Amino acid sequence: MVDRYEVRLSGFGGQGLILIGIILAEAVGLYEGKNVVQTQSYGPEARGGASRSEVVISDGEIDYPKPMKLDLLLAMNQQSLDLYSRDLKEGGIVVVDSTYCHQVTIPRAIKIPFTRIAREKLGREIVANIIALGAICEITGLVKEENLKKAVLDRIPKGTEELNVKALEIGMKLGKRAKEELVKKGEDDYIVVEATEV
């Protein structure tokens, strides 16, 4: 891992982005032994307003807790993609929920319909965030699967373990497929992973 890796998870309130930011930070910090800082911001609306969670990961000390240039951007809606894609470093990874992101102009963006997959495969849109978390962790290799699963189980409500573990596994399968496509595609191609691939 490079000395500093910066992640922004963005979308609208109610998508569980702050939760997955906390889970990612705990998986990396508690179970992988890295230094990590997690910050969050959200609009005054309980649901529907802007929401983002940022995670900075390092093998060394973290001298500044906010992202400067993103290594990874997860955009769960079009507004977040439009607003934050300019913060991506050259060669950074963009993963979008293509259920809500329809105008993707960034080369090599990874388009996965997380919300549609959650609805169709699990009957619950609320776990789209956990599917996305599994996908981005598989794509980046930030966290070992068993450590990510532990961190998810530490944070989710009791009684939802089976649903969330299934969501995580689906996400990791999608991420593996996307990672394979990244290797094959040209510099200007989009990577599209559909629900039929899990």
Q: Render pLDDT for 184-195 as a digit per residue (tens, 0 to 9).
A: 765 556 677 665
Q: How far apart are CA 143 and CA 153, in angstroms?
A: 15
Please report the pLDDT score of residue 81 as a whole number: 95
Please report the pLDDT score of residue 85 as a whole number: 94
Residue 43's pLDDT band, with cuts at 50, 70 and 90, is confident
Q: Who has greater pLDDT, 184 or 34?
A: 34
Q: Does domain 4-187 have CATH number 3.40.920.10?
A: yes
Mean pLDDT, residues 36-42 taken together: 93
Per-residue HEC secondary structure of the chain comes to CCCEEEEEEEEECCCCHHHHHHHHHHHHHHHCCCEEEEEEEECCCCCCCEEEEEEEEECCCCCCCCCCCEEEEEECCHHHHHHHHHHEEEEEEEEEECCCCCCCCCCCCEEECHHHHHHHHHCCHHHHHHHHHHHHHHHHCCCCHHHHHHHHHHHCCCCCHHHHHHHHHHHHHHHHHHHHHHHHCCCCCCEECCHHHC
